[in-house]
Amino acid sequence: MQLPVIAICGRPNVGKSTLFNVLAKRKVAIVDPTSGVTRDRISTVVEIEGKYCELIDTGGVGLVDEQNLEPYVLHQVKAALQKATIILFMVDVKEGIMPLDQTVADMLREYQEKVVLIANKTDYPALEMEKDKFRKLGFSEPVCVSALERTGINDLRDILREKMEDFPDQGYKSVAMKIAVVGKPNAGKSTLINYLAQEDRMIVSELPGTTRDSVDVYFEKDGMMFIAIDTAGMKRKKNVNTNVEFYSQHRAQRSIRRADVVLFLLDATSDISRVDKELANYIIEEHKPVIICINKWDLAKQTSPEAYERYISKMLPGLYYAPISFITAKTGKKVFSTLDLARSIYKQAVQKISTGELNRVIRKLVEQEARPSHGTKQAKIFYTTQTSVLPPTFLFFVNDPTLFSDYYRRYLAAGIRESLGFPEIPIKMQFKKRKRRDLDELGEPREKEDEEEMEVSEPEKKKPPKRIEKKSPAESEEEMAEEEIDFDGDSDMDDSDMDDSDMDEEMEDSDLYEDEE
């Protein structure tokens, strides 16, 4: 993907990340008064006045911190400058020219034609008079903006659009899949991202906690565009001590929610920790397709893949469905085969099953296992439909959701997985009470009033169900009074985002599993 590249550069704390978020129209980079929050190159694809470009935020030149990462940050800054089509050199109009501003100006001298000087923090008109002092830096007329107050941004957009005119527009290739790379500090996340991108895209250090932001890294493979999201290493809540660490943890969780597939990195040289378990639980709660990646496998001399799989099964039982990949990110061993595996489980997660096929499978499952009951009342399923993908979500219309035991629900989930092609991903199931009058409204066939239950014969002996041109039952239903079950974890999920109108409109005129009471 060849897009114009706009890199934002400057000393620490002049407002680079704030401007980045304003141009991106969303909060991508962490913004905090603490100097030197941004370390890696943070990038995203944005549209500016009808033209797509890659926008890059860089760490502050001259960063001084306790981890001595200045050389690594400077390396990332220089890589961004070499790649850039346009460089936004940011200064603070309130503070005037500082020694580090001159240092940045000297570094940018060889890119003179690319540089646009941005006088940031021009929060009120009187400050525009201060911009002239920055002419001595040797660049073009400063553009006055206030990233915080959003003033001067439209003028800046016009300037950027004009400068991109001569750049060949090769179009924006849509992203095939977003992959979040998560794990505890120092599990090898940035090393894995760098190998996928085939460049030193992320700062890699033996010091834990080097990555703070969640960073989108674009890369191509087999003609498709992917985003790999590097995240801050997850910590136990009691060990999150600063605002920056809090934001980092929050962004890591948000990256999991954004992702299509999660690569969950475990360090083969250390035991599975409480942090690993908490992270696994969060992935389960979000119902994300996940691959458990055992990194640094070349250093695990005292175990075998089979033994480690048994260990994972014992320590992370909620991820029983997840495929496992043994990799060495540093050398790239099995990294791209893991990407192929991610593509495979993504296909499972976006699969849509027709209502007819789904109901035939459910009917067969109902025939094969005794249904739960309470007293004289037995659990009955009228019909089922798939309401969404990522994760695949199935809505069961039943006589009473409380009659369906955990065991029976797990049985139904296992049957759906085995029969319909979801062996390696989480699924969600919801149970909704369906009354007689609802069935009448849908035009369901009514049996004799005194007939409690229809007889179920072998599916192949039944006549094919007749199609009816009606909207999904969920579309005409009042607010859902349902009980939701999570088969892939212990946490209850909030499904307020599940809209009945997404339901497959092609419903079976039933051959119902059960007649209504």
492 burial via Cβ count (<10 Å: 0-12, 13-18, 19+): exposed
What pLDDT sits at residue 41? 72
Q: What is the pLDDT of residue 129?
A: 87
- The pLDDT tens digits for 67-105 are 556 777 788 888 889 989 999 999 999 999 999 999 999
Quote the CA–CA distance of 170 and 52 in Å, as a whole number: 9
Phi-psi region of 273 (alpha: psi -120 to 50; beta: other; left: phi over 0): beta
Q: How confident is the model over 372-413, as pLDDT tens digits?
A: 999 899 999 999 999 999 999 999 999 999 999 999 999 999
Digit-coded pLDDT (tens) for 235-270: 445 444 444 444 456 767 888 998 999 999 999 999
* Residue scoring higher pLDDT (413 or 512): 413
Contact 385, 507 (CB under 8 A): yes
Say what the pLDDT of residue 480 is: 40
> Mean of the pLDDT values across residues 155-161?
93
Q: How far apart are CA 486 and CA 501, in angstroms?
A: 22
CB atoms within 10 A of CB 47: 11
Greater pLDDT, 114 or 30: 114
Q: What integer pLDDT is reported at residue 46 of this predicted model?
A: 86
Q: What is the pLDDT of residue 43?
A: 81
Whether 27 shows a pLDDT value over 80: the answer reads no
Q: Which residue ranges form the domains of the chain, and what is each CATH number?
A: 5-164 (3.40.50.300), 177-235+244-350 (3.40.50.300), 355-433 (3.30.300.20)
Max mean pLDDT range (167-171, 211-215, 487-491, 504-508) = 167-171
Decide the pairing of beta strands 373-374 and 377-378: antiparallel
The CB density around residue 464, as the number of other CB atoms within 10 Å, is 8
H or E, element range at 215: strand 215-221
Q: What pLDDT digit, counting tens, does each position of 280-335 carry? A: 999 999 999 999 999 999 999 889 999 999 999 999 999 999 999 999 999 999 99
The percent of residues in the chain predicted with pLDDT above 90, rounded, is: 50
- Per-residue model confidence (pLDDT) at position 353: 97
Percent helix, percent strand, percent coil in the chain, to nearest 5: 35, 20, 45
**What torsion do the CA atoms of 389, 391, 397, 398 make, to the nearest 10 degrees?**
160
Strands 86-92 and 42-48: unpaired
pLDDT given at position 360: 96
pTM above 0.85, yes or no: no
Higher pLDDT, 472 or 510: 472
Q: What is the mean pLDDT of residues 469-498?
A: 41
What confidence tens digit (pLDDT) does each residue in 228-237 have? 888 765 544 5
Structure-derived torsion over alpha carbons of residues 156, 160, 161, 167, reported in degrees to the nearest 10: 180
Q: How far apart are CA 64 and CA 29, in angstroms?
A: 19
Give the dihedral of Cα atoms 151, 152, 155, 159; nearest 10 deg: -130
In terms of average pLDDT, the best of 35-49, 123-137, 143-157 is 143-157
Q: Highest mean pLDDT: which of 12-21, 166-175, 459-468?
A: 12-21
pLDDT at 190: 84
Q: Work out the angle between the directed axes of helices 70-83 and 99-108 (0-180°, nearest 10).
A: 40
Give the pLDDT of residue 165: 83
